[in-house]
Structure 1
């Protein structure tokens, strides 16, 4: 890739900023134009970036482009992953699917619905927890609303166990292996779902970026 500040989608070249030969100087308004275009290609022509989400997007974009100065202003730790929370339908999953594309040279993460991890556990047992506790980059979607796992008559809070494994991995790799997640739940609900120990590990694993609880449902 000769110029990482330019990305071609559907035959159109989008500029994300200026490339000085060493690094890209991103321009937020250009990144938003690209995300809007990529979203329409990805999700259909009804997709759009909403003006009221610009503050959240600014934080997320700064995290993904690794803008140390702006991240420091928003208390975002570049070694941690992102926990993106907000009400149902506010666009969390869509944004996490799209933001991977503004940094094509960075290692991508796979988006996995949390309920699929539980279903896998129900079939395969603890092998599933090992599998998702491995060295891949993941974004666990809809964290906290997945059912309880059950394998050979034993109940298991599967995602709680996966998060503990991811935390160990995060420590072993000194933050090089990242975990992201989206959730509709607030901090108290997450603690109720996973317990205090997992919740305290989550604080160390994730930067919390939250939509306003009054954000409209964009799917209606």
Structure 2
């Protein structure tokens, strides 16, 4: 049996916990070692895990490994999706790309730039809303900075409509949706309206970087 807490990257095997044949006990320092190594493979040799991000990484790790006890302490519901918020350049997208690798046995989600969804709508039309609203396992990146959609002269708040469909998908089938955003709750409500914002509360766990987090791309 392949242990769910052993992950092979090339010739190197990383252990991120202990498996007794029934349950896994994860080890956060070992998870950090793996994430740092995997980050360098994904994003280049200059990638690093910053000390100031350990708290948010701990919360997110508990979510991904479905550590129910610690999720409860953080006010996180493992069956809901993630809305990861924070300033520009703090590393939101990188973490969403990276953390899914600590649970290789779970089906991965696609990370889709929100603006690309709108560009697809402008070209294809309402089928785009159906495709992204009903398809499984998406993370919408940079939610809230996408332009208004326009198809054959009609304006559409594309991501707002998709989020309404994703909420229905979640309620009926338990399929999660993830997103990253630079905006706060008030800004999201102004952009998408109270109805969508209300659905987002049911759809997402809000996990936020410290507002003072620096731009790591500089």
Residue 183, structure 1, aligned to residue 181, structure 2: yes
For residue 200 of structure 2, the aligned residue among 199, 202, 207 is 202
Give the aligned partner of residue 99 of structure 2: 99
The 2-side partners of 1:2 and 1:160 are apart by 41
Give the aligned partner of residue 51 of structure 1: 51
Shift, 1:141, TM fit: 0.2
Q: SS of the residue aligned with 2:134?
A: coil
The 1-side partners of 2:135 and 2:18 are apart by 33
The 2-side partners of 1:140 and 1:25 are apart by 31
Give the aligned partner of residue 4 of structure 1: 4
Q: SS of the residue aligned with 1:13?
A: strand
Matches within 5 A, 1:114-153: 114-153=114-153
Residue 75, structure 1, aligned to residue 75, structure 2: yes
The 2-side partners of 1:23 and 1:123 are apart by 48
Provide, for residues 7-54 of structure 1, a one-character-per-residue CA deviation record: whole Å limited to 9, x for no partner: 111311111010110122100000010000000000000101111001
The 1-side partners of 2:80 and 2:190 are apart by 23
The 1-side partners of 2:13 and 2:79 are apart by 31
Q: SS of the residue aligned with 1:133?
A: helix
The 1-side partners of 2:149 and 2:43 are apart by 31
Provide, for residues 174-201 of structure 1, a one-character-per-residue CA deviation record: whole Å limited to 9, x for no partner: x2x1100000000011011101110010
Shift, 1:123, TM fit: 0.7
Shift, 1:138, TM fit: 0.5
Provide, for residues 161-219 of structure 1, a one-character-per-residue CA deviation record: whole Å limited to 9, x for no partner: 0000000100111x2x1100000000011011101110010000000000011101000
Give the aligned partner of residue 212 of structure 2: 214
Give the aligned partner of residue 27 of structure 1: 27
Residue 163, structure 1, aligned to residue 145, structure 2: no
The 1-side partners of 2:109 and 2:55 are apart by 23
Give the aligned partner of residue 40 of structure 1: 40
The 1-side partners of 2:153 and 2:4 are apart by 52
TM-score with structure 2 setting the length: 0.98
Q: Which runs of 5+ in 1 are unaligned?
A: none
Alpha carbon RMSD of aligned pairs, Å?
0.8
